Amino acid sequence: MILLKLFECHMLPVPWRYVNSWNCHACGLCCRGFSVVLNFAEWMSVVKNYGVGFTAPGINKFYLKHKSDGSCTFLCDYHGKGICSLQHMKPLACKLWPFKILSRPKYGRARQAIYDYAGRNLFIYADPSCPGLDWGNPTRSFLKTALTEFIELALGLREKQFDSTSRMLYSPQFLRLNRQKLSRI
């Protein structure tokens, strides 16, 4: 699962040691122009709940459908912010963005990318196209909260997101909103 190719991206991922912190700005950039790979269970859930037309076939892979402007069909506008309307069944590829948590140093700089998680060597990179990344030495808070949550998601140790997604989703206003009523962008 952790070797799953997440999004198609042309910028070289950067080792986690150069990430000072990360906070999602809900800019929606990662939901535009990228192909989201679905595993079989995720594809089945989308098909069962929304219909096969919300997915797109690929060679040996399933994807989420794009709109004509290249954005994900589940991307919604909320007061000018890009919000995912698939929160209750968000694909793992989306949950892990912008981090890539791998079992080998696929993008080089192994010494900077290696991360010891409970005695297990992982290689962690961040996609620099995400504007939510701040560069520098990692803060203790980033390591303990967001990065740990991304690792646990990748390893299948947790499903729910809190520190690995936009804080806006936990605002009282947003929680009151019926997410099904969000207007599609």
Residues lying near ligand SF4 in the complex (CB under 6 A): 24-31, 36, 64, 72, 74-75, 82, 84, 86, 90-91, 94, 97-98, 130-132
Q: Are 88 and 80 in contact (CB under 8 A)?
A: no
A 10 A CB-CB count for 26 gives 21
A 10 A CB-CB count for 5 gives 12
Separation of CA 103 from chain center: 18
How far apart are CB 146 and ligand SF4 at their closest, in Å? 11
**Amino acid letter for position 94:** C
Whose Cβ is closer to ligand SF4: residue 80's or residue 119's? 80
Whose Cβ is closer to ligand SF4: residue 15's or residue 91's? 91
How far apart are CB 90 and ligand SF4 at their closest, in Å? 6
Q: Are 174 and 21 in contact (CB under 8 A)?
A: no
A 10 A CB-CB count for 4 gives 16
Whose Cβ is closer to ligand SF4: residue 91's or residue 105's? 91
How far apart are CB 112 and ligand SF4 at their closest, in Å? 21
Whose Cβ is closer to ligand SF4: residue 64's or residue 113's? 64
Which residues on neighbouring strands pair with residue 184, listed in sequence order? 76
Cα–Cα distance between 121 and 133 in angstroms, integer? 23
Q: What angle do CA 69, 70, 73 make, to 5 degrees?
A: 95
What tokens were used for 70? 């290249």
Whose Cβ is closer to ligand SF4: residue 37's or residue 105's? 37
How far apart are CB 164 and ligand SF4 at their closest, in Å? 9
How far apart are CB 132 and ligand SF4 at their closest, in Å? 3
